[in-house]
Amino acid sequence: MRAEHAEGTPAMAGRLRPVAGVADEIVGGVPCRVYEPFGTAAGTVAYLHGGGWVLGTLDTYDHVARALCAESGARVVNVGYRVAPEATFPAAAEDAWAVVSALDGPLAVCGDSAGGNLAAVCALRARDAGRALALQALVYPVCDVAMDTESWRDFALGHNLDAHEMRWFWDTYLAGADGTHPDASPQRAQDLRGVAPAFVITCSHDILRDEAEVYAYALRGAGVPVRLERYEGMVHGFWRAPALVDDAGRAHREVGLALWAALTGGAA
């Protein structure tokens, strides 16, 4: 599965976006790849890749991190968090937070799918630690372990991420741990007040659509500024395929602009 995930990356990535510099570094004890923008950086973005807490590497999401750096004008730290089954819950969340808590200056978090889950968890932890984040950009994030929404039933098969695959990802990541813990299911947090403003992207044909939108509404209900956009006609995983799907490039631009605006105080 990991080999297939890696082999498909070049066709999806297409031309790599130029950035001023790329370096592998250890941040907060975690292997990361750091991308520097041209000119003065707007701030820093901690990027948490998708892959069901099992797949995904610094290499398979290199093109996405480059795009975010180019579009946001920010320094992007692509986080090489530990994955399951070698390292199960809460290893990925602990690694993500270790990186976020080690970064200085204006800071935002961004993630897709399981990475969106980790970004949301980091936003909650940052609130509790008194660390201000400019934005949490969540692209079709995993938000709850219940797996019982209408979109789970409507798109269970044939829409790139099947229900049985997502259940396997959850089982592999949790390895028997309590999936209702907020570090696994941020939607289960008792209090969402005071977390970072959010930009949430969902896909119309995705089993995760409803839980991500419910989380966006819950944040909004707690007084958190939220921008929610549903990409019509898109399926889970489109974010990773700018060479194949025009909307992936559009999403990179929209998220990049939102990150720039949040980090600099500009108008998106």
Query: Over the range 233-244, which residues count as b (16 or more CB within 10 Å of their CB) and which as e?
Result: ebbbbbbbbbee
Task: Assign a CATH topology to domain 2-263.
Answer: Rossmann fold (3.40.50)
SS3 assignment, position 207: coil
Residue 236 a catalytic site member: yes
Q: Which of 72, 113, 151, 185 is catalytic?
A: 113
Tokens of 87: 């390292």
**In this predicted model, what pLDDT tens digit does every residue of 79-116 receive, in sequence order?**
999 999 999 999 999 999 999 999 999 999 999 999 99
Q: What is the pTM of this model?
A: 0.97
CB 113 within 8 A of CB 87: no
Q: Which of 206, 210, 247, 252 is catalytic?
A: 206
Phi, psi for 25 (deg, rounded to 5): -140, 160
pLDDT band with cut points at 50, 70 and 90 for residue 266 = confident
Residue 162 a catalytic site member: no
Q: Which of 183, 236, 247, 252 is catalytic?
A: 236
Residue 111: what pLDDT? Answer: 98
Residue 113 a catalytic site member: yes
What's the mean pLDDT when you consider all of the chain? 97
**In this predicted model, what pLDDT tens digit does every residue of 168-218 receive, in sequence order?**
999 999 999 999 999 999 999 999 999 999 999 999 999 999 999 999 999
